[in-house]
Amino acid sequence: MGLLDFFDNLGKKTRRIELNNSDANTYFAQGAKKDQSGDYQGAIRDYTKAIEINANFYIAYYYRSLNKFALTDYRGAIQDCDKAIEINPQLAEAYSTRGLAKFVLTNYIGAINDFNKAIEINPQDTSVYINRGIAKNELMDYSGAIQDYTRVIEINPNDATAYSNRGGAKNDLKDHRGAIQDICKAIEINPNDAFSYFNRGIAKNDLKDHNGAIQDYTKAIEIDPYYAQTYYNRGISKNDLKNHKGAIQDYTKAIEINPNYSKAYYNRGIAKLGLGDRSGACLDWRKAGELGQSEAYNLIKDFCT
């Protein structure tokens, strides 16, 4: 499971701030305006000014961490969350944001620990359960992920993301029919979520319903035409149906979107071989090997030497 919905859950947590005429609050208010307009660097400068004036301004540390996160300075975001938590250990949002930054840095256990603390402080924040479920999924704790998504559904029975993600985790546990049932519910709630169609396509393909999978991947592409893995997955389903030409078209599109997609080169080579294009297959396998797809060299040995 990728990160496509994960970042949708980020969101900047807002809270009511009582502003007075102090310089620290003035800088904070200026930073908040820049933050909202997308001027993250300018916002960071203003939040820094506020902190220089009031070293215990934990909200300024927290908001600065959000802007650092937006600029992909994840370690800087963690440092600011550390400081906000040091001043106010009950700031659930700081634990949640620090967990997100740790997740992006692939520290999944550290992320889960922070999400645990955020949930301890605020057990009704569904976004944290979603994020913890995704982190558990990365550690292949699919049952634990399902528990988190189920908790979200208990709090909010209309949370489409929770149903879709729970379906994905069920599919990882080979409960393909249970996965489809959950994802159908997600689509019923939100029929415009590309990721739900993508997840259902995976489950259908695993059940050998390749035509059904292709239909779902096609719908996902209609909604989001820039997600390379959807084309790649549709290519796999087409290749399973011996539609090698269609598969090549999808793998090629995936490569256009992500030129370093080693698996797409690898599988495109297999599809080309299915059409008798051995030289084209060998070119793709060599490229796949260069990009780190080591098993491509086995095919090169068998067909290209």
Which CATH number belongs to the domain containing residue 299 in this structure?
1.25.40.10
Q: Give the other-Cβ count within 10 Å of 50's Cβ.
A: 25
Q: pTM of the prediction?
A: 0.87
Q: Give the other-Cβ count within 10 Å of 79's Cβ.
A: 17
Within a domain: residue 253? yes
Report whether pLDDT(190) > 60: yes
Within a domain: residue 231? yes
Q: At what angle do helices 92-104 and 126-138 cross, to 10 degrees?
A: 30
Within a domain: residue 267? yes
Tally of domains in the chain:
1
Within a domain: residue 221? no
Q: What is the pLDDT of residue 17?
A: 41
Mean pLDDT of 52-80: 97
- Mean pLDDT (the chain) is 93
Of the candidates 158, 199, 203, the one whose C-alpha atom is nearest the C-alpha of residue 177 is 203
Per-position b or e across 264-292, b if 16+ CB within 10 A of its CB = bbbbbbbbbbbeebeebbbbbbbbbbebe
Within a domain: residue 264? yes
Within a domain: residue 203? no
Can you give the residue range of the structural domain that contains 284? 226-305
Within a domain: residue 293? yes
The 10s digit of each residue's pLDDT in 229-271 is 999 999 999 999 999 999 999 999 999 999 999 999 999 999 9
Within a domain: residue 115? no
Report whether pLDDT(65) > 70: yes
